[in-house]
A and B are shown apart, each in its own frame.
Chain A
């Protein structure tokens, strides 16, 4: 009997190694050294080695942890889409929740050696730490077997996601090959019309317009900069070609093949001087740095804002547009082509940015019993079939059949039942872990174009007309941040403190343009004292490394 089992185990051995290509061959060494009954059965149960894991052929269950304070995973199977997946693909996902303190939860799981199978997290240096500690499963062997990720994300994106050992550990979310993003300027159409629809193209136009608004509408905030005054960073793009808000968070501005100090960047200095002027003359919200999201939302949705700039003004803009239109069909919001300083090329102005790598990633940990099966699921999930179901629900409700690109054919009900449709789409929002942006947008656009303008979705309309054309591709600047407890990380923290402070001070307290400049000079000195040059060097090196990977 034992001999028979042994023979069975031996026969399976080469096949098993074939399956994982000699890479971390779990099970196989133990199978050869101590061929016990348990390893033999363990090896026999998965699908024939070398083959792909067929989703739905056997039940798959894994635990999933969303590494965010705000994230609580909805119950798997609690909505129509995941219920369909649970029933038809036999996939069950068990939530591990952060309970409002993600960092502590993850630390606890690491320390107690109790990792979830999948971690959904920001694409940052912390992932690299997990990898370096040998806690993650590489995907390279699965990429060709399961074609969706490779097909839709593309080689370039995958290369950027690779870790320093050359392997791929991160499954991207909302990755894209076409421009994305919502940053820009939203304008109150009623006020705009009443003021005679003046030209709104340059910063001078904007300034003159805001002055007019202040005179005629004392209760309206002429320029709203959003929570944390992000609109000021959006406006940075107006003062230089190829400048985008992303550089302010990056704390470095590309010049040639080097990253230079943000404090000395002429465009940045000018943008703060302009913001300071708006603030001093009460043309900008006076609560720019102290208000929270609720305060902004209240102002926009009641129409007490004339121009609103931020990184995602579309969401509030759409909500405000609907709210205002209900009371007065003439009211609402529209978007304008990004403002630029006179003399600059308006086609090189990028208020926002997008990253081919998308938003965040899923990683599979070594705690997973069958990582290949989990990868197979994620790959299916990001493919056309998975995306159709998780975004628009099971077939037969809002779509029926699919075109050649896998784009769903939307039904009548998709248009006539917006309430039910939105409810369904909202219910799965937090289960979209591997959003395939290009696929979704192509499907959506194709459909929107068949609708009359007033039936079109507000956000989709402005995205296609303006924002997607004015977002900069910043993929090459990905992953420039050092780990937080490294020497460069500590410098980054200090420089960031200096930046936040000087940015607020320059806008709120400076009495003149000269004073803004003097404050920024002082900030540069302070930053150099804590090692800004070393940080810029580190970021420049990482950037150049990225360029090599992309092959530019």
Chain B
């Protein structure tokens, strides 16, 4: 303990640099937290926080009794799970594959091309997706028709069964390159001697990936995995709002965030929106704690 304090003061110049970050988080993340109390009020803009009446769990009861809730929860969980199982591992796979590419130029080109979509906004990406998937002059339909795989164009964006696939695919396309950067960095930190030793012992390329690359990346993967689980209920917002605008898709596209936006924010029902948001945040914290607890067994936990 004493040692730690001594070390802390010896690094005072470094510690000072942390202060702005702490202040930032305190001011912008902790102080506004009292706002969650709005969930227990009938908040009115004109009366303000201090004069709005208190209604206890009224908004929570309404939220749990809402006829849409079952559907919304199912979609949130399913889309969250799909993102966790597909969108989370995808960059890891890409990083492993890129690592095996021996032509440097090819690797660089792939890396650049694949991370560029990250910088496009969802408005543009959804515009692309809608154009590609449309029936009138949509490239995908034209391609499939020319290949004689389908008889007539398919209305991809009007069939609920296809929505999750489209959503996850566009998500992976947009984020895979950028997500892989951090894993590539982890890979580049691996000692080349280990690979040399392994190949001397006769390990194949697959064995090397499995026995050296992956275990060395594991701490990074676990940390990002914990964060991804904490983010589980953030199934998506902009992407769903833009790609799932067709009312036919509402049964499969409505998640907590879009529901809160539509019902709460657009209709000035601030307290209701806060209650739903608070509910979501509580579950997220629970999930995060659980993931961290499991990760602690591998000594790679967040705290």
Query: Which residues of A are in contact with B by a Cβ distance under 8 Å?
Result: 103, 107, 110-111, 126, 129, 132-133, 135, 221, 282, 285-287, 289-292, 294-295, 299, 304, 484-485, 489-490, 493, 497, 500-501, 503-505, 508-509, 530
CB–CB A299/B136 < 8 A? yes
Task: List chain A residues, Cβ under 8 A from B133.
Answer: 290
Which one of B19-27, B95-103, B152-160 is at the interface?
B152-160
Contact across chains for A285 and B158 when beta carbons are under 8 A apart? no
CA of A286 to CA of B157, assembled, Å: 10
Contact A501–B250 (Cβ < 8 Å): yes
CB-based closest 4 A-B pairs? A286-B135, A290-B157, A484-B267, A500-B247
Secondary structure of the B side of the interface?
A: loop
Contact of B45 (CB < 8 Å), options: A111, A289, A304: A111
Residue of B nearest to A219 (CB): B137
Assess whether B136 is in contact with A287, with CB atoms less than 8 Å apart: yes
Q: Are A493 and B263 in contact, with the CB atoms below 8 A?
A: yes
Task: For residue B241, give the distance in angstroms from its CB to the closest CB of chain A.
Answer: 13
The reply to whether B134 and A295 contact each other, CB–CB distance below 8 Å, is: yes
B48: interface (CB < 8 Å): yes
Q: B136–A501 contact, CB under 8 A?
A: no
Is the Cβ of B269 less than 8 Å from the Cβ of A484? Answer: yes
Give chain B interface residues in 242-260, CB to chain A under 8 Å: 245-248, 250-251
* Distance A508 CA – B248 CA, assembled complex (angstroms): 8
Contact assessment for B134 and A290 in the assembled complex, using a CB-CB cutoff below 8 Å: yes
A294 to B263 CA separation, bound complex (whole angstroms): 28
State how many residues of chain B have any CB contact under 8 Å with chain A: 30
Chain A residues whose CB sits within 8 angstroms of the CB of B136 once the complex forms: 221, 285-287, 299, 304
- B157 x A504 contact (CB < 8 A): no
The 8 A CB mask of B35-53 against A (1 = contact, 0 = none) is: 0000000000110100000
Distance in angstroms between the alpha carbons of A509 and B247 in the assembled complex: 12
Q: Smallest CB-CB separation from A125: which chain B residue?
A: B268
Please name all residues of chain A whose beta carbon is closer than 8 Å to the beta carbon of B131 when the two chains form the complex. Answer: 295
Residues of B within 8 A of A (CB): 45-46, 48, 67, 127, 130-131, 133-136, 138, 152-153, 155, 157-158, 245-248, 250-251, 262-263, 265-269
A489 CA to B46 CA in the complex, in Å? Answer: 19
Min distance, Cβ A341 to any Cβ of chain B, angstroms:
26
**In the complex with contacts A133-B46, A485-B268, A289-B248 CB distance below 8 A:** yes
- Distance, CA A497 to CA B133, complexed state (A): 25
Query: A286-B153, A508-B248, A509-B248 are contacts. A292–B269 as well, Cβ < 8 Å?
Result: no
- Contact at A489–B246, with CB atoms within 8 Å? no
Give Cα A287 to B158, complex, Å. 8
Q: List B contacts of A286 (CB < 8 A).
A: 134-136, 153, 155
The answer on a CB contact under 8 Å between B267 and A493 is yes
Inter-subunit contact B46/A501 (CB<8 Å): no
Tell me, in angstroms, the Cα distance from A500 to B253 when the chains sit together: 14
Which of A110, A135, A292, A509: most chain B Cβ within 10 A? A292
Question: A286 CA to B251 CA in the complex, in Å?
Answer: 20
CB distance A287 to B248 under 8 Å? no
B245, closest chain A residue (CB): A290
18 pairs, A vs B, C-beta closer than 8 Å: A110-B46, A111-B48, A287-B130, A289-B246, A289-B248, A290-B130, A290-B158, A294-B127, A295-B130, A299-B136, A304-B136, A484-B267, A484-B268, A493-B263, A500-B250, A501-B247, A501-B251, A503-B247
Q: How far is the CA of A450 from the CA of B134 in the complex (A)?
A: 46
Whether A291 and B248, one on each chain, are in contact in the complex, defined by CB atoms closer than 8 angstroms, is no
Q: Of B127, B136, B262, which is in contact with the most chain A CB atoms at under 10 Å from its CB?
A: B136
Q: A287-B138, A290-B133, A508-B158 are in contact. List 10 more A-B contacts (CB 8 A).
A: A103-B265, A282-B152, A285-B136, A286-B155, A287-B136, A290-B245, A292-B130, A501-B251, A505-B247, A508-B155
Give the distance to chain B from A465, nearest Cβ to Cβ, in Å. Answer: 30
In the complex, chain B residues whose CB is within 8 Å of the CB of A490: 267, 269
Complex contact B269–A485 (CB within 8 A): yes
Give, as a whole number of angstroms, the nearest-CB distance from B120 to chain A: 16
Give the residue of B127, B246, B265, B266 whose beta carbon is less than 8 angstroms from that of A504. B246
Complex-state Cα separation, A505 to B155, whole angstroms: 13
In angstroms, Cα B46 to Cα A129, docked, is 9
CA distance A505 to B265 in the complex (A): 26
Q: Is the CB of B135 within 8 A of A287?
A: yes
Quick one: which of A110, A129, A135, A287 has the most chain B CB within 10 A? A287
In contact, A290 and B267 (Cβ under 8 angstroms): no
Chain B residues within an 8 Å CB radius of A135: 46
Which of chain A's residues has its CB closest to B123's CB? A292
